[in-house]
Structure 1
Amino acid sequence: MAVYRIRAHHGMCLAYFRGEGYSEEFTEHMYRIKEALESNPEVVIINETDDICGHCPNNLSGICTSMDKVENYDNKVLGLCGIEAGAALEWKVFEGLVKERVLDAGKRCEVCGGCQWEHLC
């Protein structure tokens, strides 16, 4: 089974993803990743470009043009979930941490208030 590299803040994005994205290609890619994660693979939680970022228009040759902003989102999620960048765990464990400690705890706006996708959350 594949091990997926997932940015910490993408744990929040995936919770709210409903088929809207930067482009049709990005949206299809996001659906494929989301579907693959349903089988509960091991994931490595990171604060840099991940497997989802591959089809993002802000990803220029593996470098995120919004790095400062999204790295801040990642670090906030990591802190709230009590894990460090590079932690390996099952997807459902990470998904549960994000739900419990960020989303259900009312911390979403603290993490990513002002994000361009906020209207979807």
Structure 2
Amino acid sequence: MTIRLRAHHLLCLLTYVGKGYTPAFTANYDGIAERLSRGEDILLVSGPDDVCAPLLDEPEPHCLRDSAAERDQLAAQDVADLLARPIQAGVRLDLVAAILARMRQAFSAGLVRKACGGCEWNGLCSAVAADGYRDTQVRRPALPGKR
């Protein structure tokens, strides 16, 4: 299967440690983290994605706000620059260990953090990065022949 993600969630997954907006959100994200760790690929989408799904029944889900779309644009540009490839709706991405490590290194260095400005989780994400991503749930072992 394929995991549908909006661009700014490429950054969120780097520091996900099992905390979220609601118990349903966290349970859903735990499942996504497990699937990513098993090697499922990512299909980039515009707007709400698999991470947003539990929030869409709320009266005014934040994932439909302009601020989420702005975060997507900023994250897409940062990640595209980092990976030297397009990051836009319709693109597939295999989050192999080398790419995950490169993205985490860039996140720690502040190179892909434009989308994080004003995010309520920014402090937690910074602490997770400063701790070396120790308790993160998305893990990818290096696979022979993959970079």
Of 66, 73, 76, which residue of structure 2 is paired with 1:75? 73
Q: What is the CA deviation profile of residues 59-118 of structure 1, one whole-angstrom value per residue up to 9, with x for unaligned ones?
A: 248x854431111111111112222222112133764564355x1441354222110111
Q: Which residue of 2 aligns with 1:7?
A: 6
Distance 1:104 1:22 in 2: 23
Judge conservation of contact 1:49–1:64 (CA < 8 Å) in 2: no
Letter in 2 for 1:13: C
TM-score w.r.t. structure 2 length?
0.67
Q: Which residue of 2 aligns with 1:110?
A: 114
Judge conservation of contact 1:44–1:89 (CA < 8 Å) in 2: yes
TM-score w.r.t. structure 1 length?
0.79
Give aligned pairs, total.
116
Q: Which residue of 2 aligns with 1:52?
A: 51
Distance 1:52 1:17 in 2: 12
The structure whose Rg is larger is 2
Distance 2:50 2:31 in 1: 11
Judge conservation of contact 2:78–2:114 (CA < 8 Å) in 1: no
Judge conservation of contact 2:8–2:75 (CA < 8 Å) in 1: yes
Q: 1:7 to 1:95 in 2, by over 3 A?
A: farther
Q: Which has the higher strand share?
A: 1
- Runs of 5+ unmatched residues, structure 1: none
Letter in 1 for 2:50: D
Q: What is the CA deviation profile of residues 32-67 of structure 1, one whole-angstrom value per residue up to 9, with x for unaligned ones?
A: 1000111122211123110111112xx248x85443
Q: Which residue of 2 aligns with 1:17?
A: 16
> Which runs of at least 4 in structure 1 moved beyond 6 Å after TM superposition?
none
